[in-house]
Structure 1
């Protein structure tokens, strides 16, 4: 998926932040809560939430609500892409983000391919 316009600049700006890159690296290992990220990264919880909000706005992470054993709920975050390619072409940067597909999206794609035959 090509990232265009201001989103492209926003992705580049976000990835320039070392703590954003570390959050992504941790989430690539396993889905985690914001508290877990804060505890393991030596960052404040508000800082982690700001980074996660930015990454969610850019659709680089997704969240889901998990029930806790005490009856409360909390969000767990995970990466929403497999790779990002930054290219320099004709003096301009291009950002391609290759998103992960859900099982439903993969099935729909397979169904389209079979229908086209």
Structure 2
């Protein structure tokens, strides 16, 4: 993935509140306030978890305009699955995101050709 450790990634995904937020926005995009209510979390906790998830590009956001003209963001999951492999005594993690499904197919095809 990059130079961030597998422990950092797993700690992020392993955080209970982060998983709750991720699960809620995997069903449909939601504003932070709606996430706080649905997950029974404080608004600052929701924003901290969104920030954690965003660090690994596991969420996306879109700014919307309310009828009264106010702007707000809705968050959506950008995470489909994680695969952890052990290669040459080294653990590697690969995060599959919504936008890289064609990349995943290409990687699987390349892996099949390498065997």
TM-score bracket for this pair, using the shorter chain length? 0.7 to 0.9
SS of the equivalent of 2:30 reads coil
Report the CA distance between 1:90 and its aligned residue.
Answer: 4.4
Root-mean-square deviation (Å): 1.9
Q: Verify: 1:46 aligned to 2:52, yes or no.
A: no
Per the normalisation by structure 2, the TM-score is 0.78
Moved over 3 A (4+): 88-92
Report the CA distance between 1:11 and its aligned residue.
Answer: 1.4
Indicate the structure whose relative CO is greater, using CA pairs within 8 Å and at least 6 residues apart.
Answer: 1
Report the CA distance between 1:5 and its aligned residue.
Answer: 2.4
Structure 1 residue runs without a partner (length 5+): 107-117
Q: Which residue of 1 aligns with 2:106?
A: none
Structure 2 residue runs without a partner (length 5+): 103-115
Q: Which residue of 2 aligns with 1:111?
A: none
Contact 1:7 1:58 in 2 (8 A): no
In the TM superposition, what whole-angstrom CA distance separates every residue of 1:36-89 from its partner, at most 9, and x where no partner exists? 000111100000000001111210101110111111010000011222112344
Report the CA distance between 1:9 and its aligned residue.
Answer: 3.1
Q: Which residue of 1 aligns with 2:76?
A: 78
SS of the equivalent of 1:75 reads strand
